[in-house]
Amino acid sequence: MRRSSELRALNIPIADELAKRSGSRPRVRPAECEPYAVAGVVPTLVFSPRTVAEASKIVTALAAEGASIAIRGAGTKSYRPPHPHALDVVLESSRCAGISNYTPADLTMTVAAGTPLHVVQETLRPYGQFFPVDPPFAAQTTIGGTLSAGSAGALRQRYGAPRDNVLGMRVCLGDGAIAFTGARVVKSVAGYDIPKLFVGASGTLGFIGEVTLKVAPLPRCEAGVAATFVRCEEACEAARRIAASPLLPMATTLHDGHTRRHIRALGSSSQPWTLLVRCGGSRSAVLRQQEGVIASMRACGAATIETLDADRLHFCWQDVVEAAGGAAYPADRTLVLAIGSLPTQVADVCASITALLPAAEITAHPATGIVYAHVPWPGAGDPSAPHERRLAERAARSLLEQFSAQGHHVKVLSAPVELGTLVAPLSQSAPVALMRRVKAALDPNGTFDPGRFVAGI
Amino acid sequence: MADRGYIGEQHPQLSALDRCTRCGLCEQACPTYRLEHYEPDSPRGRIFLMKEVAEGRAAVDANLAEHLYRCLGCRACETACPSSVPFGELLEDGRYQVELHGELDPKRWGWRTFRHLAFETVLPSRTLFTIAMLPAQIVQQLPPLRALRFLFPRRSLLRKALSMIPPASTAGGAVKAGTVIEAEGTRRARVGLFTGCVMDALFAGVHAATARVLARNGCDVVVPSGQWCCGALNVHAGERRHATEMARVNLAAFADPTLDAIVVNSAGCGAMLKGYASLLDGDAQAQRFAERVKDASEFLFELGLRQGLGPVYERATYQDACHLAHGQGIRQAPRALLVQIPGLKFVELPNADRCCGAAGVYNLTQPDRSAAILEEKVRDIEATGAQSVVTTNPGCAMQLQAGLAERRLQTRVCHLIEMLDRSYRSGP
Amino acid sequence: MFDGLVQRLAAIVGPDHVTTAPGDLSNYQYDGSADSALPQVVVMPGSAEEVTAIVSACTAAGCPYVARGAGTGLSGGAVAEAGGAVIAMARLNRILEIDCANRLAIVEPGVVNAHISDAVRAHGLQFVPDPSSQAVCTIGGNLAENSGGLHCLAYGVTSHHVLGCEIVTPDGELVWLGGRAYDAPGYDLLGVFIGSEGTLGIATKVVVKLMPLQEDRRTLLAAFPTVEQASGAVSAIIASGIIPAALEMMDQLSTKAVEAYVNAGFPTDAGAVVIVELEGLRGTLEELVQDVQRICIAHGSREVRQARDEAERERIWLGRKSAFGAMGRLGSSYYVQDGVIPRTKLPEVVSEVAAIAERYGLLIANVFHAGDGNLHPLIVFDERTPGDYERTVAAGADILRACVRHGGSISGEHGIGIEKRDCMTLQFKAADLDLMARLRAAFNPRGLCNPGKLFPTSRRCGESARTVARGALAPEMVDAAGPAF
């Protein structure tokens, strides 16, 4: 890899040369580049390709220079550890945007990866459709960013994760090769299902230029049920029963008292746990779902139960999606963990988090077994109690080890700079060698964000 | 090495083999595939082997013989087949070719001796067959002799044989060849009763019950003399010469044109009798005969049972005889008859249409496979908690009885007709 | 050829579970497709550790190998194209764990698809993917082919219902992809492994998701004067926000063949019929039924019938499932094509298929999974007529070209395997195929794991003379268990 300083010294001529070769002029001045910083590290150059072809030219030219490239969407998840030490080039996708094909009755939409998610949703809504994922940062995040991060919201319960709703992609690999993979129709088994590989790869395998999404009809009716519980176990049991029933609601989220406070429409509660269920379907189906959900909540000992009409539910949901994954917290002062466990283990996971990191604020998707912990962290410049910070860091590390040992899937979604090296240990049977070879096959020069994926990939 | 291809005209025909698209939907229906998970022991595998020979790419050899004889011939694959491959016929023709090719494998001498003795000597001869059945009949009349089976090791042939001998019917009675049992009440039909060989020797009570139930339902029951074994065991073993002769004997015995139906209470015999037209190569007389053959359950269901069924307070289940369910496509009739019996609690047997492992002489030729298949069947029966397991074929009845006895279960085996007979006799 | 390999394999699995007898090998040369190739050895492992040892032994000997489930695949995925070893997985058929509370089960790859649902039905759960061969096909095969089924329209295909699997990599390493829980760290290798047609390794344990059984369902049969109108109704149903559990269409040629064969109650004077199955909570389906009826009538349907009972429902599905067997009556053999198009392009593609039929002088009937635009044109031909077969394959390739031209795919569910490897170039450019090749090399560097599949050879699509999926004449009625494809 080229050293950043070296690149910086050369940046003007390189920029000119690259601009000639790629038809795209980079940002070169530190002040211009600063908004594209990754975990506080400012890149030397920032390119904004409009198409995957332009991206390919940039990548080819940069790869020849030995530069490393970080791919960026809206930059909402840039504090994902491990943080970079230095940053040569950021390839940002904001100009690679726009919807190229949408035929509502085909339930498919082809969009450029830099298109903001909310633009996609707004385009779909008049046709009674939506892209059925609800990741955090809904107002800023791009399609490419959502997919690269693999951010699944609570809608996974009915609609699957982002990986399940991507049909095809045009990508630029680490050596500049452009390839189309997957298909533009809702069903295909022609060739490897490579789009799934790019979902959740954090931009380490290639630049996603264009994506074909599988969209879904909006439910004809929606309504919600919110209940409070004294004990986390009871709320989780209610969620589990609902998920195991034929009711098939759209989503279920669980909030502790802290994360509940982010949900403006719910107001405050004296009970420590809130379970929120989003029902959707035909009018009669929603009524049946509500009834069934309420019955399960009551049977599991809910303290209070209230129903939400569609408007209030949607207002709620705007905040609900932001209450998981760090969107509601300052990225440089929050540690955000995501723990993939089983529905029956959610309560234990919550208890373990609270035991070791009492400050943690928890949102969970109990039907799919995912728990998000948001731990406020004093800023680097904060003079207060370095000892406590060290203790908390030790607690965080031992929590990660404990969860990994228990077989949970642990990810550090975001960490403040001083925890920039904090990563979750991998299990013994994780296919690390295979992942390395896949990385080497698609990004042979290690151009894309080297060292920033799992196992130092 | 033998020449490739088949000899003569009687062989698995390409037109039938071609129907197989190798889709594999038959595999899980096949008891031997479920047991071994081995492609050559699946219907598709066997069809492929027969086709290789038919297309001249392979010879009739020991490998083909082994896999064709490991087949039970239960024809469950025919039920599963979307392309209507006539597997039963292919199997019989394939085995016929194996036998035509003679001494393929010195290891098969035991089978050839048995086959010669059983199918070419004893079965075609009424006298020899009667003598051969004597020991079994003695045991049948003297139940304590059954206990002798404990002298023999588990899974030994004699132990199995002793436990297979059915108990004498408690209802008693027998039908005599050459007699007619008059219909009760208004006459609704005139039928011939097929008595066969094993049924006649060891299940005389079932014949008597059949005649009673038929008469009760307004049928004149004619028991023609001169009839004999249907030849099914021969055909299944690839023996056609004697089988054809036996078929001719039966055609003559049932030549009476006034018979509305030829009623048979053994599923295996019924499937064979219905197949006489094909055995005799489309012979017109055989065609007319085959059209009149009805399984007793099929006949009674179509006729409609008369009132007068009395209560039988029992929990009963039903095992489909392969040659009734898969061979003749009769599944509903026996169940529909059983549920009409007052007081009878009918419980469906899981996997009822899976073979019990009797399959003619399979329990003698492939004892280990037969036993493994039977064990699974007995476990399923046990799970139903039934006091009686009802079936419609002598081979199945004996096999089930042996299996239940080996597991020391109290569940009794009875023929469907015996159950109906019991009900009528307990009625008003 | 592979010195000492057979002895090593026998040492691994025991002599009873390895065979080189020519008679037995001949039974392992085929699967459910038209392709075949003789292996040199068949080995039947009884544990994941044995699979690992087998793969290592084959690799050391330079012997190609292919894993085989039930052998029901339709594109040659389990055929030992390059010879070598067939690893028959059927003995690995245990359901290891059922976790109803977390709605998952852990099974070995040789477990039959339908046996999972059978095992959990009493708990109100099911394993959703229901390929038409579900009574016999195995989970390992489902993983390899990413199998769908009639109900994949609403609930997704195999990859949506598998949480993780343990695999033996072509390096002989035993690793887990995914797991019991969601969101395993690292690349989604599970996603790419599913549907890789056995070229990236061999699954030895599979964690499947279980879904609650639905309470109620309704089945509707709508008849339309033309395929165009029927397609319009299909698109309108989807556009109205209703995703039925199944949404099937048959053209007139198919319905006539079916009615001549079984009494399914299809109106034979209709240009097309559409079958809609709705599932959901008890008491909530009436609203959807009425909407579907209204949409169908608005699109020109003269008759929309709702199955009154289970018997009538079964009769409708029997008719749909008998389509292939019934087509056999029109010729001696048939070839089933499998292409996908955007569902709004159905009318155009159907008329192109008709033009292709005319150009080649062949009879082509159409059966569609209309809900997801998956076409199954059935080309009727006579195997014994010289040239018929070649024309059929060429016509099939032209249909695929039409699908791709309309933005579709050359396979919706049958896979590429040997059958369509030379058609991959219709849909993918050299760079696209290169990406796939790189991925294969990352998993399968020596290329010994199921070689000869998925990637094009030097032939043109439609030229591979050996390749024709052949069905055959079936003169009597078929059972309801028949293939739906």
Per-residue pLDDT of C146-160, as tens digits, reads: 999 888 999 999 999
Rounded distance between C-alpha atoms, residue A155 and residue A134, angstroms: 6
Q: Do chains A and C touch (3 or more CB pairs under 8 A)?
A: yes
Determine, yes or no, domain membership for B2.
no
Question: Do C231 and C261 have their domain in common?
Answer: yes
Question: Do B71 and B36 have their domain in common?
Answer: yes
Average pLDDT over residues C74-94: 96
Query: Is A108's CB within 8 Å of C179's CB?
Result: no
Place of tokens 């005209």: B9
Average pLDDT over residues B198-202: 90
CA distance A169 to chain C (A): 11
Of C21 and C318, which is predicted with more confidence? C21
The CATH number of whichever domain residue B216 belongs to comes to 3.40.50
Query: Is B25's CB within 8 Å of C483's CB?
Result: yes
Answer yes or no: are the C-beta atoms of B388 and B347 closer than 8 Å.
no
End-to-end CA distance of chain B: 70
Nearest CB neighbour to C325, from listed B24, B64, B82: B82
The pLDDT value given to residue B103:
63
Question: Do A57 and A22 have their domain in common?
Answer: yes
Average pLDDT over residues A403-424: 94
Closest Cα partner for C448 from C51, C40, C44, C84?
A: C84
* Domain limits for position A265: 224-322
The pLDDT value given to residue B84:
83
Residue in chain B nearest C469 by alpha carbon: B21
For chain C, the domain total comes to 4
Neighbours of C434 (CB within 10 A): 14
pLDDT greater than 90 at residue B20: no
Tell me the residue ranges of DSSP E strands in B200-272.
219-223, 261-264
Q: Which of B104, B123, B147 is the last residue of a domain?
A: B104
Answer yes or no: are the C-beta atoms of A238 and A268 closer than 8 Å.
no
What pTM was estimated for this model as a whole? 0.93
Residues 26-65 of B with CB under 8 A from C: 26-28, 37-40, 44-45, 48-49, 52, 58, 61, 63-64
Average pLDDT over residues C191-201: 98
Neighbours of B145 (CB within 10 A): 14
The DSSP secondary-structure symbol of A307 reads E
For chain B, the domain total comes to 4
pLDDT greater than 90 at residue B356: yes
Which pairing describes strands A304-308 and B293-295: parallel, antiparallel, or unpaired?
unpaired
Question: Do C226 and C206 have their domain in common?
Answer: no
Q: What are phi and psi of C87, to 5 degrees?
A: -100, 100
Residue C481 binned pLDDT confidence (cut-offs 50, 70, 90):
very low
Determine, yes or no, domain membership for C168.
yes
Per-residue pLDDT reduced to its tens digit, C445-471: 999 999 999 999 988 888 754 443 444
Question: Do B393 and B415 have their domain in common?
Answer: yes
Cβ contacts below 8 Å, chain B against chain C, sum to 108
Q: Which of A322, A340, A371 is the last residue of a domain?
A: A322
Rounded distance between C-alpha atoms, residue C73 and residue C82, angstroms: 18
Rounded distance between C-alpha atoms, residue C421 and residue A191, angstroms: 9
Rounded distance between C-alpha atoms, residue B194 and residue B208, angstroms: 12
Q: What are phi and psi of C44, to 5 degrees?
A: -120, 90
Question: Do A197 and A282 have their domain in common?
Answer: no
Residue C479 binned pLDDT confidence (cut-offs 50, 70, 90):
very low
The pLDDT value given to residue C474:
32
Rounded distance between C-alpha atoms, residue B14 and residue C91, angstroms: 32
Q: Which of C321, C346, C380 is the last residue of a domain?
A: C321
Residue C473 binned pLDDT confidence (cut-offs 50, 70, 90):
very low
Question: Do C65 and C132 have their domain in common?
Answer: no
Say if A440 is an interface residue toward chain C (CB within 8 Å).
yes
**Residue type (1 letter), A296:** S
Nearest CB neighbour to B27, from listed C70, C88, C478: C70
CA distance C380 to chain B (A): 14
The CATH number of whichever domain residue A298 belongs to comes to 3.30.70.3450
Question: Do C291 and C359 have their domain in common?
Answer: no
Residue C202: strand pairing partners: C168
Query: Is A433's CB within 8 Å of C148's CB?
Result: no
Find all residues with CB under 8 Å of C294, minimum gap 6, and list them.
Answer: none
Question: Do A48 and A135 have their domain in common?
Answer: yes
Which class for A428: exposed (0-12), middle (13-18), buried (19 or more C-beta within 10 A)? exposed
pLDDT greater than 80 at residue B264: yes
Rounded distance between C-alpha atoms, residue B219 and residue B259, angstroms: 10
Cβ contacts below 8 Å, chain A against chain C, sum to 285
Instruction: Select from A108, A158, A159, A188 the residue whose CB has the most chain C CBs within 10 Å, as the one to mutate to test that interface.
Output: A188
Using CA atoms, how far residue A156 sits from A113, A153, A279, C408, in Å, is 21, 6, 13, 27
Question: Do B258 and B238 have their domain in common?
Answer: yes
Question: Do B198 and B291 have their domain in common?
Answer: yes
CA distance B26 to chain C (A): 8
Rounded distance between C-alpha atoms, residue C190 and residue C171, angstroms: 17
Per-residue pLDDT reduced to its tens digit, A75-97: 999 999 999 999 999 999 999 99
Answer yes or no: are the C-beta atoms of A214 and A166 closer than 8 Å.
yes
Which class for A5: exposed (0-12), middle (13-18), buried (19 or more C-beta within 10 A)? exposed
Helix axes B394-406, B267-274, angle to 10 degrees: 150
CA distance C411 to chain B (A): 18
Per-residue pLDDT reduced to its tens digit, B81-139: 888 899 999 999 999 999 888 766 666 777 788 888 888 888 888 889 889 888 888 88
Q: Which of C69, C88, C107 is the last residue of a domain?
A: C88
Question: Do A311 and A358 have their domain in common?
Answer: no
Tell me the residue ranges of DSSP E strands in C162-240.
162-168, 174-178, 202-209, 211-212, 216-224
For chain A, the domain total comes to 3
CA A301 remoteness from chain centre? 33
Query: Is C195's CB within 8 Å of A186's CB?
Result: no
The pLDDT value given to residue C464:
52
* Domain limits for position C146: 95-212
Count, residues in chain C: 485
Question: Do C138 and C31 have their domain in common?
Answer: no
**Residue type (1 letter), A57:** K
The CATH number of whichever domain residue C21 belongs to comes to 3.30.43.10
The percent of residues above 70 in pLDDT, for chain C, comes to 94
Using CA atoms, how far residue A187 sits from A193, A228, A272, C343, C407, in Å, is 11, 41, 44, 11, 12
Closest Cα partner for B65 from B38, B36, B89, B101?
A: B101
Q: Which of A287, A302, A322 is the last residue of a domain?
A: A322
Q: Which of B88, B104, B120 is the last residue of a domain?
A: B104
Question: Do B397 and B312 have their domain in common?
Answer: yes
Question: Do C104 and C206 have their domain in common?
Answer: yes
Question: Do A195 and A298 have their domain in common?
Answer: no
Question: Do C293 and C336 have their domain in common?
Answer: no
Per DSSP, helices labelled H in A136-176 are 143-149, 156-159
Per-residue pLDDT reduced to its tens digit, A183-214: 999 999 999 999 999 999 999 999 999 999 99
Question: Do A152 and A85 have their domain in common?
Answer: yes
CA distance A61 to chain C (A): 19
What SS3 class is residue C249? strand
Residues of C in contact with B26 (CB under 8 A): 136
End-to-end CA distance of chain A: 14
Tell me the residue ranges of DSSP E strands in A54-143.
69-72, 89-92, 99-103, 108-112, 129-130
What SS3 class is residue C357? helix
Q: Which of C270, C303, C321 is the last residue of a domain?
A: C321
Question: Do A365 and A453 have their domain in common?
Answer: no
Query: Is C91's CB within 8 Å of B37's CB?
Result: yes
Question: Do A35 and A149 have their domain in common?
Answer: yes
The pLDDT value given to residue C203:
98
Per-residue pLDDT reduced to its tens digit, C324-383: 777 766 666 788 999 999 999 999 999 999 999 999 999 999 999 999 999 999 998 887
The pLDDT value given to residue C469:
40
Residue A318 binned pLDDT confidence (cut-offs 50, 70, 90):
very high
Q: Is the ipTM of this structure higher than 0.90?
A: yes
Question: Do B186 and B283 have their domain in common?
Answer: yes
Helix axes C286-298, C227-239, angle to 10 degrees: 140
Question: Do C334 and C433 have their domain in common?
Answer: yes
CA distance C6 to chain A (A): 29
Answer yes or no: are the C-beta atoms of A189 and C413 closer than 8 Å.
yes
Place of tokens 């070893």: C85
* Domain limits for position B255: 179-302
Determine, yes or no, domain membership for C45.
yes
Question: Do A154 and A211 have their domain in common?
Answer: yes
The CATH number of whichever domain residue A81 belongs to comes to 3.30.465.10
The percent of residues above 90 in pLDDT, for chain B, comes to 70
Residues 363-382 of A with CB under 8 A from C: 368-370
Question: Do C331 and C302 have their domain in common?
Answer: no
Query: Is C112's CB within 8 Å of B28's CB?
Result: yes
Q: Is the peptide bond before A82 cis (omega within 30 degrees of 0)?
A: yes
Determine, yes or no, domain membership for C227.
yes
Nearest CB neighbour to C175, from listed A240, A431, A457: A431
What SS3 class is residue A135? coil
Instruction: Output b/e per residue, C459-480; b: 16+ Cβ within 10 A.
Output: eebbebeebbbbbbbbeebbbe
Answer yes or no: are the C-beta atoms of C41 and C18 closer than 8 Å.
yes
